[in-house]
Structure 1
């Protein structure tokens, strides 16, 4: 049975971990999706999860979000956590600012908090608009504002850029990096895009058949380039771990998508 204690590990002043997974396993209908996974994420650290479809990435993220339960193991996460999904999930009948604070009844002066969050993501002028008037990138920025309005200690991102065009993705990378540095949450990003992981992360973790097969730290400073020697070498290493042939993969946009779906 899973043991979950939102803040127990914070009692130790020198413990800088925001997330602790210890021996976490999860099965569905007799199929093991996660197998004895142990992972820690420091406060303010940005970790990307890579792996083929079915490797257990989203299941792991949903356990961190308390949207799913582990069968075994220990899960330690902060109480203040937010999730941004692939779809913005905005309520059409509520204005943009109302979507930012929806479900956040504890926020005093919620309209003021919503306006402030929207200014941070560059949508202050859209606060009174209806969701149907927004572009895909704008809608996802609203979802990001909603996630950050409560100042989470843990921000969980489940392929939030997958449905966006290439140019909008780049702009979202820049926005997420800036907001991460301002708010300093621990971030766990699920992605199929290798370049995305390299450009944004402090660490890249690869899940293979429900187990961590690689955990690599990236020391390069931000902003990063896709084409410098360190990024190319890391991309090659990640592709090899994912079982993608270098000759077919390196240098092609399609190769950065490792999903088998």
Structure 2
């Protein structure tokens, strides 16, 4: 059900009967720091159904990207179990295109060579509106075009699980809205399970079936977004849910949210496949 206006959000276990795309149980993860260790995940449980879109919010340093990297297989949990599909891929904040390769080879990078793969790459480029750019060099692309190329590269792998690590954070506001619309359209067409890590509450509510807030190593909130699509940001139910989520993040309803701080450079990592 949609969150009633001004109703408090409550944490809920994401128990989902039947087949799952993602199943996490008791996930713990800590990093060594100067004075000992910092525990960023502390017994996290998470289920994501096939075709379900989950957005993950939380202050910086709360383990959102760590959780995503665990799902991608780029890091290992200290404790707990991680069950994920074999076909999964990540779209990062930066496109990570190979500058010495044209757009189409970037999209099909790591795939079996041949006419079928090239055709699949062209189809993916057409889906993101870049059919005319297959022979372009990455340096000639705008920020939005480069990120659409990264989305095409994810699509051509036909992932069962799509991981989005703040993929629009480096884009200007208008391009960001266009990219959100594109991701929404692609999700509706392909229906992978999706986990989106973001600092943008509006983005989370606009795109996701569920929004979870990670705080102190656990999920403080896991709420279903039962709003019709396309979602209007000025709709009363949208505004009420945004207000409740901002409150969970420590932002008062009568105060504008501060813009996110400039992100630190990402650690080098190869795209999961």
Give the TM-score of the pair, scaled to structure 1: 0.90
In the superposition, relative to structure 1, how do residues 247 and 17 fare at CA in structure 2: closer, same or farther (>3 Å)? same
Q: For the residues of structure 2 that align with 1:23 and 1:106, how far apart are their CA atoms?
A: 40
Q: For the residues of structure 2 that align with 1:194 and 1:257, how far apart are their CA atoms?
A: 11
71, 85, 92: which one aligns with 2:92: 85
Consecutive unaligned residues in structure 1, runs of 5 or more: 1-13, 250-254
CA-atom RMSD, angstroms? 1.5
In the superposition, relative to structure 1, how do residues 98 and 89 fare at CA in structure 2: closer, same or farther (>3 Å)? same
Displacement after TM superposition at 1:111 (Å): 1.5
Q: Structure 1 residue 127 and structure 2 residue 130: aligned?
A: no
Q: For the residues of structure 2 that align with 1:32 and 1:107, how far apart are their CA atoms?
A: 46
Q: For the residues of structure 1 that align with 2:111 and 2:91, how far apart are their CA atoms?
A: 15
**Counterpart position of 2:210:** 203
Displacement after TM superposition at 1:258 (Å): 5.9
**Counterpart position of 2:267:** none
187, 209, 216: which one aligns with 1:180: 187
Q: For the residues of structure 2 that align with 1:260 and 1:96, how far apart are their CA atoms?
A: 28
237, 248, 259: which one aligns with 1:241: 248
Displacement after TM superposition at 1:109 (Å): 2.5
Displacement after TM superposition at 1:257 (Å): 4.4
Q: For the residues of structure 2 that align with 1:69 and 1:150, how far apart are their CA atoms?
A: 23
**Is this contact kept in 2: 1:53–1:259, CA < 8 A?**
no
The SS at the match of 2:189 is: helix
Higher helix share: 1
Aligned residues: 243
The structure, 1 or 2, with the larger RCO (C-alpha pairs under 8 Å, 6+ apart) is 2
Q: Structure 1 residue 113 and structure 2 residue 117: aligned?
A: no
Displacement after TM superposition at 1:113 (Å): 1.4
Q: For the residues of structure 2 that align with 1:37 and 1:162, how far apart are their CA atoms?
A: 26
In the superposition, relative to structure 1, how do residues 220 and 131 fare at CA in structure 2: closer, same or farther (>3 Å)? same
The SS at the match of 1:17 is: coil
Give the TM-score of the pair, scaled to structure 2: 0.86
**Counterpart position of 1:168:** 175
**Counterpart position of 1:213:** 220
**Counterpart position of 1:27:** 30
Q: Structure 1 residue 17 and structure 2 residue 20: aligned?
A: yes
In the superposition, relative to structure 1, how do residues 257 and 18 fare at CA in structure 2: closer, same or farther (>3 Å)? farther
Question: Could you give the per-residue CA deviations for residues 172-212 of structure 1, whole angstroms, max 9, x where no partner exists?
Answer: 11110111011110000000000000100000000002111
